[in-house]
Structure 1
Amino acid sequence: MQETELKLELSRSGARSLLKKNPFGSSPAILQQRSIYFDTPGWELSKRGLSLRIRQSGNERTQTVKAGDGAAAGSFTRDEWERPVAGDTPILDDPQIRDLLAGAGPKLAPLFEVHVKRHRWNVIDGDATIEVALDLGKVVAADREAPLCEIELETKAGSPTALFALARKVDLITPAHLGVLSKAERGYRLLGSAPGAEKSASTALTSKMNAATAFARIAAACLKQFRLNETALGWSRDAEALHQARVSLRRLRSLCSICKSLFDDSRFDQLREELKWLALELGDARNIDVMIGRASGSALSSRLEDARDDAYAAVEASLSSVRARSLMIDAAEWISIRDWRTDRSDAALHELSSRDFASGVFDKFWKKVAKGGNNLIDANDETRHEVRIAAKKLRYAAEFFEPLFNSKAKAKRHRRFIEAMKGLQDQLGSLNDIATAPDMLAALELSDVAGAKDLFSAEDKSKLLEDAAEAHGVFVNTRRFWR
């Protein structure tokens, strides 16, 4: 069978507030649960996108195998197979399960456990039935453990919009952040090195997918990358985590721009504006980090460090706001339910193969970068900025849709194309830093501090312009991998 669920992360005090106010219309059933997760020493199941657990609840044990998209953000849709078992040893006699695990069975061993106290409700909302489970407990792996406090909402019947409405109701009672990790993923992360900044990763796509499905998968991956970096920022003011959080928002905004022909939905523009707002909230802190890396004088560095503290405090306030939390829930709903596909006049475009759609995107933005960058040395800052944005969208698109062009020859050409794009983007990005530094320093009242003018010297700009023109020539002469 297939399940669809939404996860939200709560604080312990928030969970207590939720239990006290209990907005779910009945008293919860309370269960103590212990789940053992199995895999091979080389984590073969995890690499295939599978998880296998045996969960004990009271005197009953249930074995569950799940197969799903690791890129999911908040709203998970996964295939699932369950069966009762007598003990803590997996039973693999079902032909479908045996084929799914394909040779991993003999090497399976317990990897980690999840212990929770589960409070469970069934909520009726119009024609919708939603199972709500509040889990308080911990994940235990070897000599490590991590607290777990999350609420899962799963639609059993009716419209999934009721599920998101209930999520917003929970967030009114206590801050609820979109959850993007399954319990299995939490366990695997606990076994690895301490998580830090999360870079973008390739999303599983196939040429058989239509354009709308490819968009939804990539968008979910961007949302997941943002939430993982947002969580890392909650532990420390890590410059790379902030940078990657901002990158994930830029990627999602670029994806929406790249794919805007798919949408006929009034919420699209609103969501894009909210994503822009959140990215801007992170912008000052990121710009200060960049200037700190380039600052040469101790006086300027010290003043920038003070400004950095204030900027990161503002980032923390923005990320903890109702507006930011609501944006994550709204984005997860929009991506998951896909109401933007309901205009039948665009049915042919929605069903266009993801590969054909991607090729059209590449052609469009390649022409913009090739033509716009013809005279970078004599162009003004605004024109170069427009070329930089087009180049960024082209590179993101090339990364988004890479799995659709995976033949040996195309993969090789893709690597060369990305290298050429990176070279051009690096030069255009440095030029943009020089162009924006004066206004940033003025806003921070640091224009007259010793070393400030070194951040945007004419000599540096002249050299960067020459390098940018050369990088643009390399880009134009690099073979296009999609042709």
Structure 2
Amino acid sequence: MQETELKLELSQSGAGSLLKKNPFGSPPINLQLRSIYFDTPGWDLSKRGVSLRIRQSGNERIQTVKAGDGAAAGSFTREEWERPVAGDAPILDDPQIRDLLAGAGPKLAPLFEVHVKRHSWNVMDGDATIEVALDLGKVVAADREAPLCEIELEKKAGSPTALFALARKVDLITPAHLGVLSKAERGYRLLGSAPGAVKAASTPLTSEMSTATAFARIAAACLRQFRLNETALGWSRDAEALHQARVSLRRLRSLCSICKSLFDDSRFDHLRGELKWLASELGDARNIDVMIDRASSEALSGRLQDARDDAYAAVEASLSSVRARSLMIDATEWISIGDWRTDQSDETLYEQSSKDFASGVFDKFWKKVAKGGNNLVDADDETRHKVRIAAKKLRYAAEFFEPLYNSKAEAKRHRRFITVMKGLQDQLGSLNDLATAPDMLAALELSDVAGAKDLFNAEEKSKLLEDAAEAHDAFVNTRHFWR
């Protein structure tokens, strides 16, 4: 059986407001639920993208096995298998789950529990039936516990667009942030070290996969990375979490640019504009963090720290805005439902092999970087900036589509290519920091503070230009991994 659900995170007070206003057309059914999650000591099931739980409600116990894409963001489509059980010990004799749990049976043990009070409704919307579950409670793992407050909207029948319409209705009553963690993932995170900044992870792809499917999977992974880092920023003003949140938005914007031939609808342009807005809202804080790392005087460092406080307060205001929350819901709907597939007359673009598509992308952006960077030393800042953007798209594309090039020779060439790309990007990025520092300092009224001019001195720029030219030569001379 397959489930399709949308998850939203609420505050405790927000859940109270939702229960008070109750927009779901009937009183809720209330249940106390206790769920025990099982895995091996080495977390073998988690590594396979599988969860196994036994959930108790009253005297009834249901065992559930779920398998799906851990890179999903907010909108989950997963396979699940359920069966009643008599006690708190898993039953593993179902042939449908035997392969999923292969080798794990003898080592399975309870790892953590989830205790919630569930408020549930069945909502009818046209031809759609949606099961709504508001869960208030906690996740308990060993001597740790964490609060849980989320609402799940699961499509039982009809169009999935109804899920997103209902999500927007909830957000009008109380702030609702796109949820990207399953209850199982919350438990595993509680067992590990305190979560912080999250870097991009590889998205499972196959060479037989269509370009459209590959795009949707990679885009969902970008949204997930953003939300995990946004959550980390809610706990502390961590510079790396902000950097990775910004990286995730840049990656998604680059993906949209790389794949723009697939899209022919007005929502694409609107979402690209909104993603650009949100990334720009994080820009000042990131630039200040970079300058703090390079500040050579206490006077400048202190003034920059004050400016950082203001910049992070602005970031927090932007992330908590209706506009940002709506963007996450809108982007998830657009990516997961995929109506854009029907807006393009050339269906062959969608069904093209993802590997063929990727190879064409690499050819295009390699030529841009190779040609544009021919004379980095004498080029102006704007030209170098354009080369930097093309190089960034090429590197992101190489990371996105890496799983498609998995032969031993391809993997070796890919590692070398990424190393060379990182070297070129680092030099171009440092040059860009030098170019933007004067305007940034002027905007912060710090141009005359002691040490300010050290952030963009000519001697450092001359050395960076030489290093960038060498990095570009290495890039041009590195063997392609895709041909």
Given the two structures, how large is their TM-score scaled by the length of structure 2? 0.99
Listed one character per residue, the Cα deviations across residues 409-431 of structure 1 (whole Å, up to 9, x for unaligned) are: 11110000000000000000000
Match in the other structure for 1:28: 28
Q: Is the contact between residue 264 and residue 344 of structure 2 (CA under 8 Å) also seen in structure 1?
A: no
How far has the Cα of 1:344 moved from its partner?
A: 5.3
Listed one character per residue, the Cα deviations across residues 148-192 of structure 1 (whole Å, up to 9, x for unaligned) are: 000000111111111101000000000000000000000000000
Question: Which amino acid is the alignment partner of residue 82 of structure 2?
Answer: E
Question: Which amino acid is the alignment partner of residue 406 of structure 2?
Answer: N
Matched, 1:164 2:177: no
Whole-angstrom CA distance in 1 between matches of 2:223 and 2:59: 39
Q: Is the contact between residue 263 and residue 344 of structure 2 (CA under 8 Å) also seen in structure 1?
A: no
Question: Which amino acid is the alignment partner of residue 152 of structure 2?
Answer: E
Q: Give secondary structure in 1 for the equivalent of 2:430.
A: helix
Q: Is the contact between residue 34 and residue 55 of structure 1 (CA under 8 Å) also seen in structure 2?
A: yes
How far has the Cα of 1:343 moved from its partner?
A: 2.8
Listed one character per residue, the Cα deviations across residues 54-113 of structure 1 (whole Å, up to 9, x for unaligned) are: 000111110000000000000000001111111111101111211221111111110100
Match in the other structure for 1:386: 386
Match in the other structure for 1:232: 232
Q: Give secondary structure in 1 for the equivalent of 2:38.
A: strand
Q: Is the contact between residue 288 and residue 307 of structure 2 (CA under 8 Å) also seen in structure 1?
A: yes
Question: Which amino acid is the alignment partner of residue 176 of structure 1?
Answer: A
Whole-angstrom CA distance in 2 between matches of 1:106 and 1:96: 18
Match in the other structure for 1:181: 181
1:419-430 aligned at under 5 Å gives the runs 419-430=419-430
Match in the other structure for 2:9: 9
Listed one character per residue, the Cα deviations across residues 100-145 of structure 1 (whole Å, up to 9, x for unaligned) are: 2111111111010000000000000111111000000000001100
Q: Give secondary structure in 1 for the equivalent of 2:111.
A: strand
Whole-angstrom CA distance in 1 between matches of 2:482 and 2:447: 47
Whole-angstrom CA distance in 2 between matches of 1:324 and 1:97: 40
Whole-angstrom CA distance in 1 between matches of 2:423 and 2:346: 37
Match in the other structure for 1:323: 323
Q: Is the contact between residue 29 and residue 119 of structure 2 (CA under 8 Å) also seen in structure 1?
A: yes
Q: Is the contact between residue 30 and residue 117 of structure 1 (CA under 8 Å) also seen in structure 2?
A: yes
Whole-angstrom CA distance in 2 between matches of 1:387 and 1:375: 11
Identity over the aligned pairs, expressed in percent? 90
Q: Give secondary structure in 2 for the equivalent of 1:101.
A: coil
Q: Give secondary structure in 1 for the equivalent of 2:99.
A: helix
Whole-angstrom CA distance in 2 between matches of 1:161 and 1:155: 9
Change (3 A) 1:344 1:389: closer
How far has the Cα of 1:265 moved from its partner?
A: 1.4
Match in the other structure for 1:99: 99
Match in the other structure for 1:464: 464
Q: Is the contact between residue 265 and residue 339 of structure 1 (CA under 8 Å) also seen in structure 2?
A: no
Match in the other structure for 1:148: 148
1:26-425 aligned at under 5 Å gives the runs 26-343=26-343, 345-425=345-425
Whole-angstrom CA distance in 2 between matches of 1:99 and 1:370: 48
Question: Which amino acid is the alignment partner of residue 50 of structure 1?
Answer: V
Question: Which amino acid is the alignment partner of residue 379 of structure 1?
Answer: A
Q: Is the contact between residue 297 and residue 451 of structure 1 (CA under 8 Å) also seen in structure 2?
A: yes
Unaligned runs of 5+ in 1: none
Whole-angstrom CA distance in 2 between matches of 1:181 and 1:350: 29
Whole-angstrom CA distance in 2 between matches of 1:121 and 1:105: 36
Query: C-alpha root-mean-square deviation of aligned residues, in Å?
Result: 0.6
Match in the other structure for 2:479: 479
Whole-angstrom CA distance in 1 between matches of 2:288 and 2:449: 15
Listed one character per residue, the Cα deviations across residues 360-405 of structure 1 (whole Å, up to 9, x for unaligned) are: 1111100000000000001100000000000000000000000000
Question: Which amino acid is the alignment partner of residue 473 of structure 2?
Answer: G
Question: Which amino acid is the alignment partner of residue 329 of structure 2?
Answer: I
Whole-angstrom CA distance in 2 between matches of 1:329 and 1:14: 18
Matched, 1:437 2:472: no
Q: Is the contact between residue 264 and residue 340 of structure 1 (CA under 8 Å) also seen in structure 2?
A: yes
Q: How many residues align?
A: 483
Whole-angstrom CA distance in 2 between matches of 1:81 and 1:209: 26
Q: Give secondary structure in 1 for the equivalent of 2:106.
A: helix
Whole-angstrom CA distance in 2 between matches of 1:344 and 1:412: 37
